[in-house]
Structure 1
Amino acid sequence: MGRPDLLATLDHGTGAPGPPPTWDNIQVDHERVIRDGTARLSMASNVTEACQWTVAALARYAPATISVLLEVHDRLRCIAATGSWQVFSTVPPATGVVGRVHTTGHTVVVTDVAADPDHLPVRPDVTGEVCVPVPGPSGRPVGVLDLLWSEPADLAAWRNTAERLAERLGARIVALGGPPTETRGEKLLRHAAALATAPTEWELRHAAVTAAREVSTLSAAVLVLAGHRGPRLAEPTTTPSELEARIRASLSEAGSGALGRMVDLAHRYGAGYTLGETGQPTGDDHAALARAGVRTLVAVPVGSADDAGLLLVADERRLRPDPTTVNLMELLAGQACSALDRLHAVARLREQASSDPLTGLRHTGPFGERIAAATPGRTALLAIDVDGFKSVNDTYGHQAGDRVLVDLARALEGALRQNDELYRTGGDEFVAVIEVNRPEEAVRVAERLTEAARRIGRTISVGVALPHPDEPADRTLHRADQALYRVKREGRDGVRMAAA
């Protein structure tokens, strides 16, 4: 990378043309570099200008890729840089050489980037790196000044120059109020990552309302979700603000009809917002919000017409949300909806993976987890086998056999108590896990199951076992199976308690 303005000033002693100079034998006047680098800093009207002028001044003398990265929220953001095929826009905390310098506050000089695992691959021909901290008001770095070299250079001399320039740049940044704040677009991008990775619906709702307040700069956000009986207010994930509490109370008092009309209005015509003008009438659909003290409102549809929800972002101040704010809220609502669909899809897959596709009952995997947590003396296992099931399959076919299993599963579920659990563990084999106070209680539940089977024209054999202290779950189930086989030998259609 040549610098014609600098090369033209070089005197090779004889005045006669000499060999072209290279950057490793040019004697750079580092004091001049520092003077030029600080000359315009005092005139910079903002932090971006200060960073750009520092980089431009250095680029006149240093054949390097130069960048200034400042701390913005929880990342290092590139504020100014010389041309390069790739410049990282933001860098996560403590990532790369720049992150190491920002975290420790100590300059790093890398003479062989191939040997440093933290080096970020900005360009393929880089051989060395000088990265210095840009100090803040208390000495803690607010960012870094980074120089990447692809030609031989006196890195020790450039380290000293870069540190002195970074100190002056840091002082100007402090004088201008510190590093720039996140733009609303950057905030939305950060929150979008939280929405995309939320593991539960609760955390997703929390991320959505937090993002809505922070990106819009309004003080309250309330999420309305679709429900079986119409739209419903999503439960708050944290203690609601005073305005959010009033909004919730007023909407609840207004009833589901008013909430439904607001949702329908948004999905029919799109997002809406106030213009902050006094003396304008409030429609009946929004009267509840006005009574709650809302003076500024952005209402954005969430989901599809078949699964309609609403995002309400509000404030007590009379403001004028600009169209950009509304657009950002629409993007946020779209992200939240996609993330919610993802959670529901994962839940369905998990349910399918843990359920028997024929009967809908949970099967072997969840059963193993449940009996592993059984309480000795309080948990009973009921091993259940359908009597004569093979003859049904042989005589009427597998479709008839499947119908028997489905009907029997429903009958047995209906005979169990609320917290009892029924599993299908084999072709015609089921296991019920129930909580009891006494062994005879388990026998009574088993007898209810046999009666339920008889009511649909089938019979079952049931073996009952209660886990002993420190007894492996598979051993308990084995004892229940032995009791079941005894019922089979004695004529089927009955219940037997396992031997101790």
Structure 2
Amino acid sequence: MSLDHSRVVRDVTTRLPTASTAVQACQATVAALGRHTPGRIAVLLWVHDRLRCVAATGSWQVFASVPAGVGVVGRVYASGKAETVSEVTDDPDYVPLRPDVQAAICAPILDPAGRPIGVVDLEWTTTGVELDAWRDTVEQVAARLGTRIGQLGGPPAETRSEKLLRHASALTVAATEPDLMTAAVEAARDVSGLRSAVFVLDGPAGPWVATPSLVPDELEARVHAALAGAGRPLLERLRSRAHRSGASYTLGEGDHPTTTDQDLLIAAGVRTLISVPLGPTELCGVLLVGDTRTLRPDPTTVNLIELLAAQSWICLERLRGLARLREQASSDPLTGLRHQGSFGERIAESNPGRTALLAVDVDDFKTINDTYGHQAGDRVLVDLARALQGALRHGDELYRIGGDEFVAVVEVLRPEEAVGIAERLTEAARQIGRTISVGVAVQRDGESPDLTLRRADEALYGVKRQGRDGVGLATGG
């Protein structure tokens, strides 16, 4: 017997008025359709930045969420037009979750203004389905569902858990610490509903207040300034309290006794504060999320902020680990100086007429190795690298490009300035009981950096021939 499709539409139409939320309306629609077809049914609504499944049969066989433009459902949502896919294997956009689906019908859900807000999607694993009749039915059902959702105020708002998931994804792709702090601050504001968020991180000199790259909220700016000027002991107490309890504090109510660090925050305008640890130890830091309103954060909010803080710390550790690996890959493990690879990158950015290369060679280094051994030679290189770095100006760069060969890259206005810097290097070497020979060359117009370095080496060997422990300027440079 042929299915009475008008009855299907009537069943949905009868159930929709009983729904008091958009989600209940979608669930009622799925339940009504499920009485008339064994097909897999799903309703997806647009929530913030993607289609999210809010009702379905066989929920393990549907996508929980779909990004914009992905799959048939994304295509139908974007076009606002229903589609019949009679052979899903022939559709390049179809994304299967089970291998036996034969055909699909997807119709957009439109709001009263005609804008897409979601889709109704049906899939069948059997053949012989009256696809034309079902398409008309699905379009009618989607239209009625859209009307009811509009009456109920539109699609549901993004839940805080969904917000946290979205922000967690943003944290994982942050490329720098400022970017990460910015993403984490935005996430903390959004998930908690509070105005401001500030990170107190730990560093070599103790706790410090991290500065994200986004423009701070007015309260954030005041809290940041107050904490930055508070001194290390107070920051350590604030951090310790969070790691002992991870509690939520409501501040500024009546005459309740407060601590010194709380008084500092109250003076900055904080009336509500969620304080949670970032990582497993006190040295990780603390996340402070606050507001100028006197509120009482519920346990769920605190739990979500704790999850956000933990994710932020994991991502921060990942960034720092990658930075350490990059540093190890680009640095000489003995002296800590940049090595040949990064030197090549640096001189590729040289400025003819302004960039000078100072080729440095340790005098009698082979004798040191032969007489006292390689460990003694290594100590000489480490001490010399430290001395030479100390003699350079801010912005000058020193590289180790060979056994006892160094190159300094300096920006100068005239060759005499480069010679003066080279003489400072020779004096620094003498101060630690060593001597060096230095060749100086300023890059000429149209000259490759490799040729400039070759002229610096020639000047260096000229110094060697004249008795070492001196500086030579390359001819014409």
By the TM > 0.5 criterion, same fold? yes
Change (3 A) 1:255 1:494: closer
Per-residue CA deviation, residues 188-210 of structure 1 (Å, 9 max, x unaligned), is 11111111221111111111111
Distance 2:146 2:307 in 1: 36
- Counterpart for residue 124 of structure 2: 149
Change (3 A) 1:285 1:448: closer
Distance 2:475 2:281 in 1: 60
Distance 2:374 2:83 in 1: 73
- Please state if 1:385 is matched with 2:353: no
Distance 2:229 2:433 in 1: 52
Larger Cα Rg: Structure 1 or Structure 2? 1
Distance 1:421 1:251 in 2: 35
Which sections of structure 1, spanning at least 5 residues, go unmatched? 1-25
Per-residue CA deviation, residues 396-422 of structure 1 (Å, 9 max, x unaligned), is 222122122112211211222222111
Counterpart amino acid of residue 148 in structure 1: E
Change (3 A) 1:350 1:254: closer
Matches within 5 A, 1:125-144: 125-144=100-119
Which sections of structure 2, spanning at least 5 residues, go unmatched? none
What TM-score do you get using the length of structure 2 for normalisation? 0.95
Distance 1:57 1:65 in 2: 13
Q: Equivalent of 1:222, from 198, 202, 215?
A: 198
Distance 1:435 1:441 in 2: 9
Distance 1:274 1:93 in 2: 40
Matches within 5 A, 1:161-172: 161-172=137-148
- Counterpart for residue 113 of structure 1: 88
Counterpart amino acid of residue 372 in structure 1: A
Moved more, 354-363 or 296-305: 296-305
Aligned-residue offset at 1:257: 3.5
Per-residue CA deviation, residues 18-40 of structure 1 (Å, 9 max, x unaligned), is xxxxxxxx422111111112111
Counterpart amino acid of residue 91 in structure 2: D
Aligned-residue offset at 1:232: 2.2
User: Does structure 1 conserve the Cα–Cα contact (< 8 Å) formed by 2:270 and 2:291?
Assistant: yes
The 3-state SS of whatever aligns with 1:71 is: strand
- Please state if 1:307 is matched with 2:307: no
Distance 1:233 1:385 in 2: 44
Per-residue CA deviation, residues 363-415 of structure 1 (Å, 9 max, x unaligned), is 11111111111111111001112222222222322212212211221121122
Aligned-residue offset at 1:276: 8.6
Q: Equivalent of 1:39, from 14, 36, 42?
A: 14
- Counterpart for residue 135 of structure 2: 159
Counterpart amino acid of residue 53 in structure 2: C
User: Does structure 2 conserve the Cα–Cα contact (< 8 Å) formed by 1:387 and 1:493?
Assistant: yes
Aligned-residue offset at 1:472: 1.3
The 3-state SS of whatever aligns with 2:206 is: coil
Distance 1:388 1:55 in 2: 86
Distance 1:386 1:246 in 2: 54
Moved more, 278-287 or 51-60: 278-287
Change (3 A) 1:380 1:249: closer
Aligned-residue offset at 1:243: 2.5
Aligned-residue offset at 1:486: 2.4
Distance 2:344 2:225 in 1: 45
Root mean square deviation, CA, Å: 1.9
The 3-state SS of whatever aligns with 1:231 is: strand
User: Does structure 2 conserve the Cα–Cα contact (< 8 Å) formed by 1:273 and 1:326?
Assistant: no
Matches within 5 A, 1:71-470: 71-83=46-58, 85-152=60-127, 153-252=129-228, 254-274=230-250, 278-470=254-446
- Counterpart for residue 63 of structure 1: 38
Distance 2:251 2:83 in 1: 53
Residue-pair matches, total: 475
Counterpart amino acid of residue 143 in structure 2: E
Aligned-residue offset at 1:452: 2.2
Moved more, 369-378 or 223-232: 223-232
Moved more, 154-163 or 245-254: 245-254
Aligned-residue offset at 1:64: 1.1
User: Does structure 2 conserve the Cα–Cα contact (< 8 Å) formed by 1:71 and 1:77?
Assistant: yes
- Counterpart for residue 473 of structure 1: 449
Q: Equivalent of 1:485, from 458, 461, 467?
A: 461
User: Does structure 1 conserve the Cα–Cα contact (< 8 Å) formed by 2:276 and 2:288?
Assistant: yes
Distance 1:459 1:318 in 2: 69
Change (3 A) 1:245 1:111: same
Aligned-residue offset at 1:491: 2.9
Distance 2:298 2:87 in 1: 51
The 3-state SS of whatever aligns with 2:194 is: coil
Distance 1:216 1:425 in 2: 52
Identity among equivalent positions (%) equals 63
Aligned-residue offset at 1:308: 4.1
